[in-house]
């Protein structure tokens, strides 16, 4: 596993930039007390991803955890209110995907799968100064050649569910 910067670069930093803009907080004179309350959409089974804000001017809250709502509760709520089932929020080529997630992508969304395979090919000779081969799938083979049998099929629990560190939220 290489160093992960995606959560920070693609989610946390842009979101914080927008929050600063909306709250009119300039870097050189940031308030020292909380003036922003951020609601992060982490469900109850993901409570391990709850993290306090790194900014003194912001406090984080997790309304789904406060209401003890699991992902399944959220899906039931959406169905009751006539909303379609949303896809999971992970990035298409997230290296934290389980085999089951990769299979769902391959079998259910050919365009997204092709996108992930193309990115996997593009990075396999290394990138951002990394010497050596880099792959999206944890078995370190090209994505379209990876064995996507699920961990459960092998009797192995998925121990990689802590994707995104819980800092980006919804
Ligand atoms: S979903 Fe995966 S690839 Fe996307 S930001 Fe989170 S850890 Fe990174």
- Mind listing the pLDDT tens digit for each residue in 61-81? 999 999 999 999 999 999 999
Mutation to probe ligand 1, out of 3, 90, 101 (largest number of atoms < 8 A from CB): 90
pLDDT of 146 > 50? The answer is yes
Share of the chain above pLDDT 70, in %: 88
Instruction: Give which of 11, 37, 13 is closest to 23, Cα–Cα.
Output: 37
- Mind listing the pLDDT tens digit for each residue in 2-52? 877 788 888 888 989 999 999 999 877 889 899 999 999 999 998 998 999
If you measure from the C-alpha of residue 119 to the centroid of ligand 1, how many angstroms do you get, rounded to a whole number? 14
Instruction: Give which of 68, 16, 19, 63 is closest to 39, Cα–Cα.
Output: 63
Instruction: Give which of 136, 133, 138 is closest to 150, Cα–Cα.
Output: 138
Render the burial of 62-76: b for 16+ CB within 10 Å, e for the rest: bebbeeebeeeebee
Tell me the residue range of the domain where 53 lies. 30-86
Same domain assignment for residues 105 and 119: yes
Atom of ligand 1 nearest to the CA of 96: 2
Same domain assignment for residues 92 and 80: no
């Amino acid at each position: 596993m290489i160093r992960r910067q995606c959560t920070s670069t693609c989610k946390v930093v842009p979101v914080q930039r927008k929050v600063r803009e909306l709250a009119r907080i300039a870097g050189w004179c940031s308030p020292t007390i909380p003036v922003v309350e951020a609601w992060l959409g982490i469900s109850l089974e993901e409570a391990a991803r709850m993290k306090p804000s790194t900014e003194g001017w912001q406090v984080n809250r997790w309304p789904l955890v406060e209401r003890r709502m699991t992902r399944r509760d959220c899906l039931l709520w959406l169905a009751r209110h006539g909303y379609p089932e949303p896809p999971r929020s992970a990035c298409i080529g997230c290296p934290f995907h389980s085999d089951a997630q990769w299979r769902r992508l391959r079998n259910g969304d050919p365009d997204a799968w092709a996108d992930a395979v193309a990115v996997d090919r593009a990075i396999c000779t290394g990138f951002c100064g990394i010497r050596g081969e880099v792959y999206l799938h944890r078995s370190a083979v090209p994505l379209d050649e990876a064995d996507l049998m699920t961990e459960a099929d092998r009797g192995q629990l998925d121990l990689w569910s802590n994707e995104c560190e819980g800092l980006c939220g919804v």
